[in-house]
Protein backbone atom coordinates (compact mmCIF):
# COMPACT_ATOMS: atom_id res chain seq x y z
CA UNK A 1 0.00 0.00 0.00
CA UNK A 2 1.21 3.46 -0.84
CA UNK A 3 1.80 5.97 1.92
CA UNK A 4 -1.07 8.18 0.71
CA UNK A 5 -3.44 5.26 0.67
CA UNK A 6 -2.44 4.47 4.23
CA UNK A 7 -3.19 7.99 5.37
CA UNK A 8 -6.58 8.02 3.66
CA UNK A 9 -7.38 4.69 5.26
CA UNK A 10 -6.28 5.90 8.67
CA UNK A 11 -8.44 9.02 8.37
CA UNK A 12 -11.42 6.97 7.27
CA UNK A 13 -11.00 4.59 10.17
CA UNK A 14 -10.58 7.36 12.69
CA UNK A 15 -13.96 8.70 11.61
CA UNK A 16 -15.47 5.43 12.75
CA UNK A 17 -13.86 5.68 16.16
CA UNK A 18 -16.49 8.31 16.87
CA UNK A 19 -19.56 6.00 16.79
CA UNK A 20 -17.56 3.51 18.89
CA UNK A 21 -16.84 6.19 21.47
CA UNK A 22 -20.43 7.41 21.29
CA UNK A 23 -21.78 3.99 22.20
CA UNK A 24 -19.12 3.66 24.90
CA UNK A 25 -19.87 7.05 26.47
CA UNK A 26 -23.65 6.76 26.37
CA UNK A 27 -23.52 3.26 27.83
CA UNK A 28 -21.44 4.51 30.77
CA UNK A 29 -23.57 7.60 31.21
CA UNK A 30 -26.71 5.53 31.73
CA UNK A 31 -25.45 2.21 33.07
CA UNK A 32 -23.54 3.59 36.06
CA UNK A 33 -26.51 5.37 37.67
CA UNK A 34 -28.77 2.51 36.57
CA UNK A 35 -26.35 0.05 38.15
CA UNK A 36 -26.52 1.96 41.43
CA UNK A 37 -30.32 1.83 41.36
CA UNK A 38 -30.30 -1.88 40.50
CA UNK A 39 -27.88 -2.53 43.36
CA UNK A 40 -30.20 -0.75 45.80
CA UNK A 41 -33.21 -2.65 44.42
CA UNK A 42 -31.41 -5.93 44.91
CA UNK A 43 -30.66 -5.02 48.52
CA UNK A 44 -34.27 -3.90 49.03
CA UNK A 45 -35.93 -5.53 52.04
CA UNK A 46 -39.17 -6.05 50.10
CA UNK A 47 -38.60 -9.61 48.92
CA UNK A 48 -40.42 -9.56 45.52
CA UNK A 49 -38.42 -6.51 44.44
CA UNK A 50 -35.05 -7.99 45.31
CA UNK A 51 -36.17 -11.25 43.72
CA UNK A 52 -37.16 -9.71 40.40
CA UNK A 53 -33.99 -7.64 40.38
CA UNK A 54 -31.99 -10.77 40.95
CA UNK A 55 -33.67 -12.54 38.03
CA UNK A 56 -32.88 -9.57 35.80
CA UNK A 57 -29.23 -9.65 36.87
CA UNK A 58 -29.03 -13.42 36.34
CA UNK A 59 -30.42 -13.13 32.80
CA UNK A 60 -28.19 -10.23 31.86
CA UNK A 61 -25.06 -11.90 33.17
CA UNK A 62 -26.03 -15.39 32.08
CA UNK A 63 -26.70 -14.73 28.38
CA UNK A 64 -24.36 -13.33 25.72
CA UNK A 65 -24.38 -9.59 25.19
CA UNK A 66 -24.47 -10.30 21.47
CA UNK A 67 -27.76 -12.15 21.88
CA UNK A 68 -29.16 -9.26 23.92
CA UNK A 69 -28.11 -6.81 21.23
CA UNK A 70 -29.85 -8.85 18.54
CA UNK A 71 -33.05 -9.20 20.59
CA UNK A 72 -33.07 -5.46 21.29
CA UNK A 73 -32.48 -4.77 17.63
CA UNK A 74 -35.63 -6.69 16.63
CA UNK A 75 -37.72 -5.56 19.56
CA UNK A 76 -36.96 -1.89 20.28
CA UNK A 77 -37.98 -0.44 16.90
CA UNK A 78 -41.45 -1.98 17.25
CA UNK A 79 -42.12 -0.20 20.53
CA UNK A 80 -44.59 2.69 20.33
CA UNK A 81 -44.99 5.44 22.89
CA UNK A 82 -48.28 4.33 24.42
CA UNK A 83 -48.00 0.58 24.09
CA UNK A 84 -49.73 -1.36 26.85
CA UNK A 85 -47.84 -4.11 28.65
CA UNK A 86 -49.59 -7.00 26.78
CA UNK A 87 -49.01 -5.21 23.51
CA UNK A 88 -45.31 -4.89 24.36
CA UNK A 89 -45.17 -8.57 25.18
CA UNK A 90 -46.83 -9.47 21.85
CA UNK A 91 -44.31 -7.33 20.00
CA UNK A 92 -41.49 -8.81 22.01
CA UNK A 93 -42.56 -12.29 20.95
CA UNK A 94 -43.04 -11.37 17.29
CA UNK A 95 -40.81 -8.33 16.83
CA UNK A 96 -39.83 -7.20 13.36
CA UNK A 97 -36.98 -4.82 12.74
CA UNK A 98 -37.19 -1.43 11.13
CA UNK A 99 -33.75 -0.35 10.05
CA UNK A 100 -32.37 3.15 10.30
CA UNK A 101 -31.35 5.35 13.20
CA UNK A 102 -33.14 3.03 15.59
CA UNK A 103 -30.09 0.83 15.49
CA UNK A 104 -28.09 3.02 17.84
CA UNK A 105 -30.88 3.23 20.40
CA UNK A 106 -31.61 -0.48 20.23
CA UNK A 107 -27.95 -1.29 20.75
CA UNK A 108 -27.69 1.28 23.53
CA UNK A 109 -30.66 -0.23 25.40
CA UNK A 110 -29.06 -3.67 25.29
CA UNK A 111 -25.67 -2.34 26.40
CA UNK A 112 -27.12 -0.26 29.23
CA UNK A 113 -29.25 -3.13 30.54
CA UNK A 114 -26.30 -5.49 30.36
CA UNK A 115 -23.72 -3.21 31.92
CA UNK A 116 -26.13 -1.98 34.60
CA UNK A 117 -26.36 -5.58 35.80
CA UNK A 118 -22.58 -5.93 36.02
CA UNK A 119 -22.14 -2.54 37.68
CA UNK A 120 -24.96 -3.38 40.09
CA UNK A 121 -23.11 -6.41 41.40
CA UNK A 122 -19.92 -4.41 41.80
CA UNK A 123 -21.74 -1.60 43.62
CA UNK A 124 -23.64 -4.00 45.82
CA UNK A 125 -20.37 -5.66 46.82
CA UNK A 126 -18.99 -2.20 47.58
CA UNK A 127 -21.96 -1.11 49.64
CA UNK A 128 -22.04 -4.35 51.60
CA UNK A 129 -18.33 -4.09 52.36
CA UNK A 130 -18.82 -0.89 54.35
CA UNK A 131 -18.74 -1.82 58.06
CA UNK A 132 -22.01 -1.63 59.98
CA UNK A 133 -20.30 0.72 62.42
CA UNK A 134 -20.31 3.48 59.81
CA UNK A 135 -24.11 3.42 59.66
CA UNK A 136 -24.32 3.29 63.44
CA UNK A 137 -21.94 6.20 63.96
CA UNK A 138 -23.91 8.22 61.41
CA UNK A 139 -27.19 7.26 63.04
CA UNK A 140 -25.95 8.16 66.50
CA UNK A 141 -24.86 11.57 65.19
CA UNK A 142 -28.35 12.23 63.85
CA UNK A 143 -27.70 11.96 60.11
CA UNK A 144 -30.83 11.05 58.16
CA UNK A 145 -30.81 7.90 56.05
CA UNK A 146 -30.28 9.87 52.85
CA UNK A 147 -27.49 11.94 54.39
CA UNK A 148 -25.86 8.77 55.67
CA UNK A 149 -25.96 7.19 52.23
CA UNK A 150 -24.73 10.16 50.24
CA UNK A 151 -22.23 11.67 52.70
CA UNK A 152 -20.86 8.69 54.59
CA UNK A 153 -21.43 5.49 52.63
CA UNK A 154 -21.30 6.40 48.93
CA UNK A 155 -17.93 8.22 49.00
CA UNK A 156 -16.37 5.15 50.60
CA UNK A 157 -18.09 2.84 48.12
CA UNK A 158 -16.69 4.83 45.19
CA UNK A 159 -13.14 4.18 46.34
CA UNK A 160 -13.79 0.49 46.84
CA UNK A 161 -15.43 -0.13 43.48
CA UNK A 162 -12.88 1.69 41.31
CA UNK A 163 -10.66 -1.34 40.58
CA UNK A 164 -13.57 -3.63 39.61
CA UNK A 165 -15.30 -0.87 37.66
CA UNK A 166 -12.18 -0.11 35.70
CA UNK A 167 -12.20 -3.70 34.45
CA UNK A 168 -15.78 -3.31 33.26
CA UNK A 169 -15.10 0.00 31.56
CA UNK A 170 -12.11 -1.38 29.68
CA UNK A 171 -14.12 -4.44 28.66
CA UNK A 172 -16.85 -2.11 27.41
CA UNK A 173 -14.51 -0.41 24.93
CA UNK A 174 -13.89 -3.76 23.33
CA UNK A 175 -17.51 -4.93 23.68
CA UNK A 176 -18.74 -2.05 21.53
CA UNK A 177 -17.57 -4.14 18.59
CA UNK A 178 -20.57 -6.45 19.20
CA UNK A 179 -22.86 -3.69 17.93
CA UNK A 180 -21.52 -4.47 14.48
CA UNK A 181 -23.62 -7.66 14.44
CA UNK A 182 -26.81 -5.67 13.90
CA UNK A 183 -25.31 -3.21 11.47
CA UNK A 184 -24.18 -0.41 13.78
CA UNK A 185 -21.37 1.17 11.82
CA UNK A 186 -18.39 1.50 14.09
CA UNK A 187 -14.72 0.66 14.09
CA UNK A 188 -15.00 -3.09 13.42
CA UNK A 189 -17.46 -2.46 10.62
CA UNK A 190 -15.10 -0.20 8.73
CA UNK A 191 -12.09 -2.39 9.48
CA UNK A 192 -13.84 -5.43 8.05
CA UNK A 193 -15.20 -3.76 4.94
CA UNK A 194 -11.90 -2.06 4.17
CA UNK A 195 -10.03 -5.24 4.81
CA UNK A 196 -12.01 -7.17 2.23
CA UNK A 197 -12.03 -4.26 -0.21
CA UNK A 198 -8.23 -3.94 -0.06
CA UNK A 199 -7.60 -7.64 0.48
CA UNK A 200 -5.33 -6.61 3.34
CA UNK A 201 -5.09 -7.18 7.06
CA UNK A 202 -3.81 -3.64 7.59
CA UNK A 203 -7.27 -2.15 8.39
CA UNK A 204 -7.88 -4.86 11.00
CA UNK A 205 -4.44 -4.23 12.46
CA UNK A 206 -5.18 -0.50 12.63
CA UNK A 207 -8.47 -1.18 14.38
CA UNK A 208 -6.61 -3.34 16.88
CA UNK A 209 -4.16 -0.54 17.57
CA UNK A 210 -7.02 1.92 18.05
CA UNK A 211 -8.78 -0.31 20.58
CA UNK A 212 -5.47 -0.84 22.31
CA UNK A 213 -4.86 2.90 22.56
CA UNK A 214 -8.34 3.54 23.95
CA UNK A 215 -7.99 0.75 26.50
CA UNK A 216 -4.54 2.01 27.53
CA UNK A 217 -5.76 5.56 28.00
CA UNK A 218 -8.54 4.23 30.24
CA UNK A 219 -6.08 2.11 32.19
CA UNK A 220 -3.93 5.16 32.82
CA UNK A 221 -6.95 7.25 33.72
CA UNK A 222 -8.12 4.70 36.27
CA UNK A 223 -4.72 4.29 37.87
CA UNK A 224 -4.66 8.07 38.19
CA UNK A 225 -8.11 8.08 39.82
CA UNK A 226 -7.08 5.24 42.13
CA UNK A 227 -4.07 7.27 43.25
CA UNK A 228 -6.34 10.26 43.87
CA UNK A 229 -8.27 8.15 46.35
CA UNK A 230 -5.14 6.98 48.15
CA UNK A 231 -5.31 9.81 50.66
CA UNK A 232 -7.11 7.48 53.04
CA UNK A 233 -7.25 3.76 53.73
- CB-wise, 48 or 133, nearer to another protein? 133
- CB-wise, 11 or 132, nearer to another protein? 132
- Sketch the per residue contact string, 130 through 169, with another protein: x for CB under 8 A, - otherwise: -x-xx-xxxxxxxx---x---xx--xx--x----------
- Cβ atoms of 26 and 184 within 8 Å: the answer is no
CB of 233 to another protein, least distance (A): 4
- CB-wise, 155 or 208, nearer to another protein? 155
Count of residues touching another protein (by CB under 8 A): 20
Q: Does 233 bind another protein (CB under 8 A)?
A: yes
DSSP 82: T
Torsion angles phi and psi, residue 53, rounded to 5? -60, -40
- Sketch the per residue contact string, 75 through 114, with another protein: x for CB under 8 A, - otherwise: ----------------------------------------
- Cβ atoms of 122 and 35 within 8 Å: the answer is yes
Candidates 50, 112, 117, 107; CA nearest to 73 is: 107
- Cβ atoms of 78 and 98 within 8 Å: the answer is yes
- CB-wise, 71 or 152, nearer to another protein? 152
CB-based contacts of 223-228 (< 8 A; 24+ apart in sequence): 225/162, 226/162, 226/163, 226/166
**Residues engaged in binding another protein (CB under 8 A):** 131, 133-134, 136-143, 147, 151-152, 155-156, 159, 231-233
Amino acid sequence: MAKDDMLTLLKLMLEYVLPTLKLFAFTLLFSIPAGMIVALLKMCKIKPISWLTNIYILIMRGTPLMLQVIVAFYFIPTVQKNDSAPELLRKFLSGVSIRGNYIFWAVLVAFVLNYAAYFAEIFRGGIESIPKGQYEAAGALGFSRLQTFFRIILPQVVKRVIPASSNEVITLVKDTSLANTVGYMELIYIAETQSSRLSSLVPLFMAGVMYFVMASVLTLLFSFIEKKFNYYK
